[in-house]
Structure 1
Amino acid sequence: MMKFLVTGGGGFIGANFVRLALTEGWGTVLNLDKVTYACHPATLAMLEQLPNYQFVRGDVGDRPLVQDLLQSFQPDAVIHFAAESHVDRSINSPQDFIQTNVVGTANLLEEVKTYWQQLPPGAQERFRFIHISTDEVYGSLGPEDPPFREDTPYAPNSPYAASKAASDHLVRAYHHTYGLPTLTTNCSNNYGPYQFPEKLIPLMICQALAGQPLPIYGDGQNVRDWLYVEDHCRALYTVWQKGQVGQTYNIGGNCEKPNLEVVQTLCDLLQTLLPRPHLNYRSLITFVSDRPGHDRRYAIDATKIQRELGWQPRETFSSGLEKTVQWYLAHQDWVEAARTADYSAWLVTHYGSVLTHRP
């Protein structure tokens, strides 16, 4: 059975990958996670119930710790999710993003390189380092521009995107300089179960369940390509199985939608699944001042991974969104546990105090 060292496996995408890996028999997992605000205790508790799972609390930038874990666990692959990932937070605290996404990745790569170089030839041949990145490294698209391809020039516009671009370049350099067998994936906006409610879809679900305003930046016409998280995780497994070392694969959901349409669709779904007397969820939509440097449009061309590796998303936006909403409705204890004092303070910082009060 394959051994995966997963960094950031307590976060949204990482936790979904770990869950699928263990329930579908992809291999055993050692999860290294720093346990920051976005790592929900109930998510970690869920993972602890699964077989063939180990958890270590720690930082990917802690080289002695990483060295020890690599030597003791002897992974066949490192799946690198660990990152600060929210643009809004990067605008307020860019140094946190540089430290985790750039310095942390650099330290991790150095230890993985040393571990890989010491492996016997067969194990060296099998080993892979999978680096999970974002479409935001490519910058912003105009309405008629073609979607991002793997050869689209980098043009990051936020501290978050810049920190991920830097980490992508480090991964590429370790392959070309040292021969480390790396693969990089750049994904579009993920949504699904276990996502901390600072990103658009879970934020709207949590606000709506509390009967509170649904904040939308600017005019709501910023366009994103939406990818159901389990589809993303299956794509990563496919990249590990079939991807060509040194290559980059873009992973998208073939689903471009403006933010306002996403929120309106979500409101209509909640109106069906959880109708409430005298409440039209759409009436909670509240436009707020746009954030600085807000990219207008992202779109992914996933032709390469579809053509070369045979991956396709299983979910449509409609089916994925319904699964997502059903999960949050069935796990309202998880939602309530996320709505801490720190979380409420974050809402005030980014959207204004009006959003923490019922309209």
Structure 2
Amino acid sequence: MTSFATALLDWFDRHGRHDLPWQHPRDAYRVWLSEIMLQQTQVATVIPYFQRFITQLPTLRDLAAADEDIVLALWSGLGYYRRARFLHRAAQLCVERHNGELPRDFDALSALPGIGRSTAGAILAQAYGLRFPILDGNVKRVLTRYHGIAGHPGEREVEKQLWLRADEHTPAERAADYTQAIMDLGATVCVRTRPLCNACPMHEACVAHRDHLTAQLPTPKPGKTIPTRSTIMLILRDAANRILLQRRGAQGVWAGLWSLPEAHDTDDAWREAQARARIDDAQPLKPFVHVFSHYRLQIQPLLFDGAAPKQAIADNGDLRWCTGAELPSLGLPAPVRSLLLALPEPTEEHH
């Protein structure tokens, strides 16, 4: 075992995280679910989502058989909904091709939707104890600093170097613990800003620590400004306190989720609203901004209270009038869910 792995495992035994919910039991389904949830999301945020998800869909077969709306509702708030869709589809493929289990073969596992090289390695190492390297964001940061590797880790040549280092350090014994250990070190000690170098078991051999480069490494991605777009969200509320929801198309952000009808400007908003219900007034609510990875969305909610549904749009596949009680079982984007939960009470004249 390399001295890197030995030092890291000694540290893990004393300071690592041993009580995460996906570690008990550490089976393939739970490890996989946690790995997908942890992409772009912190452990503290993921834990309650993981527990809620695993309570409702405790096995891979339960996930495969679940309705997509249920899967998206359980995911709602974690963002990057494509991850949830890939998870759902991969579970169905495991039932079709792999007897309802995640395959132990690297190629078969990484052929499933949403499972890249690092996620496949993490599942095989943690669930099955097999020796496979991983390279998530935390591990990239640890190895970039330890070896003093300059250049943005997303660049092909830099990533290639990092994979070689990751493989070189991964031990044959205790692969599951090592994998958790290097992720823990990145998440709790070798953090992005102000790393706790004195608490790190590798600081004496770390190039970034030696050369005072921890603030410069990993090299940041070349910056670019993200554009701002704007939309008006229509909240049509009828006399029974139901809200009109619309399922979004299969492409673009929030694909396939239930959301609110949208419009480009006020005239367009009135046209859209009148096509769906008889309305008499509109109340602008407080605008807010939602930030995606590639643009900012300025949202102006427009509330039409006392809307009378038109017969022509009785519930179809992509439009439905929903009560507040039905919302938790639907996949809704987090900002839309928050907006609906914070709606003002209907005014008396509209009761």
TM range (shorter): under 0.3
Give me the TM-score of the superposition, normalised by structure 1.
Answer: 0.25
Give me the TM-score of the superposition, normalised by structure 2.
Answer: 0.25
